[in-house]
Amino acid sequence: MKTIIIAGTHSGTGKTTVSMGIMAALARRGLTVQPFKVGPDFIDPTHHTAITGRYSRNLDTYLMGADGVRASFSKAARGADVAVIEGVMGLFDGLGVGEEGSTAQVAKILGAPVVLVIDARGMSRSAGAVARGFREFDPGVKVCGVIANRTGSERHASNIRDNINDSQDIPFFGALPKATRFQIPGRHLGLHMAHEENYDISGLADMAEASINIDGTLESAADVDISNPQEDDAEPSCTVGVALDSAFCFYYYDTFDAMRSLGARLLFFSPMHDRVPDVDGIYMGGGYPELHAGALEAGPARERIKKLSGNSLPVYGECGALLYLAGSLETDREYKMCGALDSSSRMTPTLQALGYTEAAASNCIMAAGGTRIRGHEFHYSLTECASDSRFAYVMNRGKGIEDGKDGLTAHNTLASYMHTHPAAMSFDRFVAACRAYRKK
C-alpha cells in the first residue's frame, strides 16, 4: 500500500489543512484514498472521511500498541490505492520525553516516509535549519520532503525553497499562502466536525494542486505491507443501539468493527430525535451534549433510557454520555437529563482534564476485575456524584470523575470521562452482557 505521512514541526502548523488538500487532490485524480489520523482525535477524521468517502482510522501506539497499529492499518487500507496519514502535534512529540504516542513512532512501525509541514511565518533561512534538524534528529524516521505553510508572498516562498534546498538534499514540495479560505472554525474541544461545515472539496483540491507538488508527494510514498488477516463479522447474536447525532459523535470506527466481529448488530439512533429502538444494549460516545441540552431534555429517548437502565439493560457511555446519563446538566441553565446515574454535571469555562489515562478496573460490564485499561480524557465539565456512588475504575493516570475514580456505575449502566479503544479494552464483556440480556 502506497503510504505517506503528513507531519508538523509542532501543533498548529496547518498539517490538517495540508492533509485535507492532498487527500482531496488525490481523490479527484481518481485514486481511492484511505485516510488515517495519529493520536486520540475524533474530529479531524470526520473531515478526512467527508473528503475521501472512506472512514478515517486512528493510529495510536499508546492505546493500540505496535500490533494494534499494524492491524488497524492493514484492515482499513484494503481496497485503497494510497494511504494518507495525518500526524499529531510535532513529529517527535509523544507521551512525556519518549516517543510513545508520537507520529515518529507510527512512521517507524509502518516504515512510512514523512512530509514535514513547516509554519514559515517569520522565518526564511531558518527554515533550512529546521528541515535539516528534523531530518537528522532520528535516522529511523525518513523525512522525504517539506511543505511550507503560511508564506507571505511568492518571493517569501521562493526564499524558503532555496534555503531548504541549500541546507541539504531534501525535496521541497510546495508552499501554501497564509491567506487561505480553507480554515475550519474551532471551539472548546477542537475544530468543528465535518457535518457542521460546508467546505468546498473541489476548491481544496484546486488549492493543493496549485501550491503542492502532488506528483512528487505521491512518488515519495512507500509501500507498506498490509498482509495481516482480515477479521470478519460474526453472525449477529444481539442488537446494540448506538447514539449517533450532533450531540454524540465521538467514536472510533474500529469500535464498531470490533463489536460486529463479536456478534453485535448495530442500530444507530439520535437521542434528540428518535425513540430508543428495540435493542439489547446501548453504547453512547462523547460529543457535544452541552450544545444540544434543550433538545436532549425534550427528546423522546431520555425517559426511556432511564427506564431501560433501571431494568438492567447494558448501557455504556463515554464523556459526553456521562453528562447525558446524569440527572441534570447545567450550561446556560439547568437541564433535565436521563437520571440513569445519581449524579449531576455542569460545564466549566476552563479545561478540567486533558491527556492519556490508565485505570485498573473492578468487575463491570466492560472489564473483569484487575484489568488494566488505557484511554484518554478531554472535557470542560465537572460531575458530582451521590455519596454512595459506585465506581468501576481506579485511575493510575488521569483525573477521572472524582478522587482518582472513574466509571460511574448503577445496575448495568457504566459511564466514564475516559474514552477508550477496542485495542485498549475489549468490548467482549459488553457484547456478552447484551447477549445475556437478550436471553432473559
pLDDT tens digits, residue range 335-385? 999 999 999 999 999 999 999 999 999 999 999 999 999 999 999 999 999
The fold for domain 2-223 equals Rossmann fold (3.40.50)
pLDDT score, position 164: 84
Q: Quickly count helices (H) and strands (E) in the chain.
A: 13, 26
C-alpha cell of residue 213: 507538488
pTM for the structure as a whole? 0.93
- 164, 131 contact by CB (below 8 A): yes
pLDDT score, position 165: 77
**pLDDT value at 50 more than 90:** yes
**pLDDT value at 82 more than 80:** yes
Helices 15-28 + 44-52 axis angle, to 10? 10
DSSP structure string for 92-147: T-BSBTSSTTSHHHHHHHHT--EEEEEE-TT-STHHHHHHHHHHHH-TTS-EEEEE
Q: Which residues are catalytic?
A: 319
Q: Residue 36 corresponds to which amino acid? A: F
Cα gap 20→49, rounded to integer Å: 10
Q: Residue 12 corresponds to which amino acid? A: G
- Spell out the domain ranges in the chain: 2-223, 238-438
Query: What's the average model confidence in pLDDT over 315-343?
Result: 97
pLDDT digit string, tens, across residues 190-238:
556 656 566 788 999 999 999 999 999 999 999 998 886 666 778 999 9
pLDDT score, position 229: 62
Helices 15-28 + 201-211 axis angle, to 10? 100
The fold for domain 238-438 equals Rossmann fold (3.40.50)
Cα gap 106→84, rounded to integer Å: 13
Give ∠ CA 205-10-20 in degrees, rounded to 5. Answer: 15
pLDDT classification of 162: cutoffs 50, 70, 90: confident
> CA of 335: how far to CAs of 74, 290, 319, 380, 384, in Å?
44, 10, 17, 17, 15
Helices 44-52 + 201-211 axis angle, to 10? 90
Low-confidence winner among 7-11, 81-85, 223-227 (lowest mean pLDDT): 223-227
C-alpha cell of residue 13: 502548523
pLDDT score, position 28: 97
Cα gap 265→233, rounded to integer Å: 10
